[in-house]
Amino acid sequence: MTGVLFVIFASFLWALDTLIRYPLVEKGIDPIVIVFFEHALLTFLFLPKIFIGAKRIGELKISDAFSFLVVGGAGSAIATVAFTMAFMYLNPSLVILLQKFQPVVAILLAWVVLKEPIPRPFLFWGLVCLFGALLVSAPDIEKVWLLLRTDPDRLASHAALRGYGLVGVSVLGWGASTVFGKKLSLAGFEPSALSTGRFFVGFLVLLFFVPWGQSLIFADPSDYLRLSVMVMLSGALAVWLYYQGLKRLPAKFTTIIEMFFPLCAVVVNWVFLGKQLSEIQLLGGAILVFGALILQLKKY
């Protein structure tokens, strides 16, 4: 149960992240710049551990180095940038809705890469949890349905196709990050080492994508403070909690618990933005909790 709580707490901190990240994007700040500064600050924060671990870099197995590249490069850097950029091309509700299918990717990869068994009862209760997570996102589903009825061409436009591609990249990247993070954990890497490698590799990858120049300077200096708060909460602390949970749970179950993120997000919106939860969302939250509880008790 401890591992479940670690991942749920991490999900809550990631939900708090949205109160800062998307307002920065709405100000016109390049998503790549936001993610770059995030990784730069986190790399600086973990700098002592990077120096200590530098002696062991040459001892890394090729498979471990590849796993860190997936976790840091594909998952932490590219997937985060792709997900943030997708909001520029798609209706935000559609982006959030499509992201819910990330567990499908993670479960399949856990079966292929980690050889984790996927029994039918697990699939059934996993689908129950997914159904609950979708109900939690009922307002997003309603908005997408309305858009489909009133402006279907918008969902098939060139911009929309780019958005679908970006969401696909983020779903694949985050799903793979969960599985290869578990692979590194099984290889003996502790949560602090996983966090350090994730942010450092992500920072190195982002060096090739960040637009150098005046775009790196924020017009509002207070945005640097907001970004720093986001880095400490959703970056350093949340990722450390997440890897503590991943260390204790199978990858296939960890990705199920990650579905608590949308539930945490609507709770955050309710507490901080005054957005009331509908009966459907409450029902979805109850179904999600019940499904996750069954999976935890049965340990399929």
Extents of the domains making up the chain: 2-298
297/230 Cα distance (integer angstroms): 34
How far apart, in Å, are the Cα atoms of 201 and each of 68, 75, 217, 222, 237? 7, 10, 23, 28, 18
Report the length, in residues, of the chain. 300
30/27 Cα distance (integer angstroms): 9
- The pLDDT of residue 1 is 66
Produce one character per residue of 98-129: b if its CB has 16 or more CB atoms within 10 Å, e if not.
bbbebbebbbebbeebbebeeeeebeebbebb
- The pLDDT of residue 50 is 64
- The pLDDT of residue 111 is 92
- The pLDDT of residue 214 is 62
- The pLDDT of residue 300 is 64
Cβ neighbours of residue 259 under 8 Å, at least 6 residues apart? Answer: 100, 103, 129, 130, 132, 133, 288, 292
- The pLDDT of residue 233 is 84
Q: H helices within the chain, ranges in order?
A: 2-26, 31-45, 47-53, 62-68, 79-86, 92-99, 102-113, 120-136, 138-150, 158-186, 191-206, 222-230, 238-248, 251-257, 260-273, 279-298
Picking from 88, 84, 5, the residue whose alpha carbon sits closest to that of residue 39 is 84
User: In this structure, are residues 287 and 117 in contact, taking their beta carbons and an 8 Å threshold?
Assistant: no
- How far separated are the first and last CA of the chain, in Å rounded? 14
Cβ neighbours of residue 166 under 8 Å, at least 6 residues apart? Answer: 82, 83, 85, 86, 89
CA-CA-CA-CA dihedral for 285, 288, 294, 297, to nearest 10: -80
User: What are the backbone angles phi and psi of residue 28, rounded to the nearest 5°?
Assistant: 100, 10
- The pLDDT of residue 31 is 78
Q: Which residues of the chain have pLDDT under 70?
A: 1, 49-60, 93, 154-155, 213-215, 300
Q: How far is CA 37 from the centre of its chain?
A: 17
- The pLDDT of residue 172 is 92
User: What are the backbone angles phi and psi of residue 179, rounded to the nearest 5°?
Assistant: -70, -45
